[in-house]
Structure 1
Amino acid sequence: MSMNNQNDKLPVFVYGTLLAGFGNHRNYVKPYKHVSTPATIQGEIYHLPAGYPGLLKGVQEVVGEIVTFAPDVYEQALAGLDELETYYGEGDPRNEYERIIVPATIEGTGQVVNVYVYRYLDQDLVKRTGVHIPHGNWRRYMQELPE
């Protein structure tokens, strides 16, 4: 049995500038009918010099939100996110991020759901130029930065 049907309209886990209160949320999430749910995934997160985070493979907890777009706006919303994250499709050499399916744990209930997440492709660049965020919470990292 194919699993693809369930993956067609997966929610998206966001952990950086797409979180509520940050610039890209206003342009890429807010215009579309959606529900946001606090959640975590496993990975490692780094703050990059360009001002946004890069997610890598890892076993730490990364804090963010699951964004579930309404079905009628889903394709349009996802296309906008793909463009923002420089994702042209699976295996495309121009990709800055890859869009992959990972399990996310919903805060409070502990329920696990499959989500799309954008993971940075150039691990060496991230580790060389980025600042590791050990607590996995980019929002908190930004709030704690000195003025």
Structure 2
Amino acid sequence: MHQIFVYGTLLKGMYNYEIYCSAEDSYRQKAYVDGLLYSLKGRRYPALIEGKERIAGELHEVSEQTLKKIDELESYFGEGHPENEYDKKFVMAYAEDGSEIGEVPVYFYNIRNEKNRALLDQRITCNDYRKYVE
């Protein structure tokens, strides 16, 4: 099984959680990573880029098969691939009390790609996608 940090449509109860993760009951706990959260023009999912804000999300534990499906969902083709919509990076995740959980893979929006960078819209200043869409 693989731990991943999610912050958007894969959050428990959101539409991609139901499609990709609910069968494995993958949710483990609320968590946070450092970054900046943005909405995307014409999209119904967020973008996380590097930054210093504490971004709310969840730790999930998924099978190898589910991880591959999530890589496809996130248009992740491999480390450093120029066409990635999201890059997978290992960063420190924190529990709600601020204690370190450990380094886990997180999908960061690939702003090296000009097409992706042009889609960045407004900062999600509440740093919590679930609160933003409610």
2:87–2:107 Cα contact (<8 Å) kept: yes
Structure 1 pair 35–142 and aligned structure 2 pair: CA distance change class (3 A):
closer
**After TM superposition, what 4+ stretches of structure 1 lie above 3 angstroms from structure 2?**
123-129
Rg (Cα) greater in structure = 1
- Which one has the bigger strand percentage? 2
Identity %: 34
Structure 1 pair 109–128 and aligned structure 2 pair: CA distance change class (3 A):
closer
* 1:33-48 paired onto structure 2 within 5 Å: 33-48=25-40
1:40–1:104 Cα contact (<8 Å) kept: yes
Q: Given the two structures, how large is their TM-score scaled by the length of structure 2? A: 0.88
C-alpha separation between the residues in 1 aligned to 2:83 and 2:98? Answer: 38
Q: CA RMSD in A?
A: 1.9
C-alpha separation between the residues in 1 aligned to 2:29 and 2:118? Answer: 29
**Could you report, residue by residue, the CA deviation over 1:52-94 in whole angstroms, capped at 9, with x for unpaired residues?**
100000000100001123xxxx210110110000001111222
| Structure 2 unaligned residues grouped into runs of 5+ | none
**Could you report, residue by residue, the CA deviation over 1:17-49 in whole angstroms, capped at 9, with x for unpaired residues?**
000121100111112242421010000000112
User: Aligned to 1:60, what secondary structure does the other structure show?
Assistant: strand
Structure 1 pair 68–128 and aligned structure 2 pair: CA distance change class (3 A):
closer
